[in-house]
Amino acid sequence: MMKMYVKCMMVLNSFKESKKGQGMVEYGLIVGLIAIAVIAAITLLGGNIRDLFNNVAGTLGAAVPTAVPT
């Protein structure tokens, strides 16, 4: 019984000390949070940005090029 307890404790300690995938999980969480923030920003500001670009394109399209002196 004591051997079983010691073996179980050794296995549990090895799980506690193992940090192989911790860095990758943290990077994955950061990338996920950034993706959520970008999606939220595009959703909230998408219409305003589209209108701004359409206004700029309309203004540039209506501009008359001037003659370049030679």
Place of tokens 């949070």: 33
Q: What are the residue ranges of helices labelled H in the chain?
A: 2-17, 22-62
pTM for this model (two decimals)? 0.49
pLDDT tens sequence across 3-60: 777 777 777 676 666 666 777 888 999 999 999 999 999 999 988 989 999 999 888 8
In a domain, 48, yes or no: yes
In a domain, 39, yes or no: yes
Q: Residue 45 is part of which domain span?
A: 25-56
The pLDDT score that the predictor gives to residue 15 is 64
CA distance 43 to 50: 11
Name the domain count of the chain.
1
In a domain, 47, yes or no: yes
In a domain, 35, yes or no: yes
The pLDDT score that the predictor gives to residue 34 is 96
In a domain, 36, yes or no: yes
Place of tokens 């179980």: 8
In a domain, 2, yes or no: no
Which carries the bigger pLDDT value, residue 57 or residue 68? 57
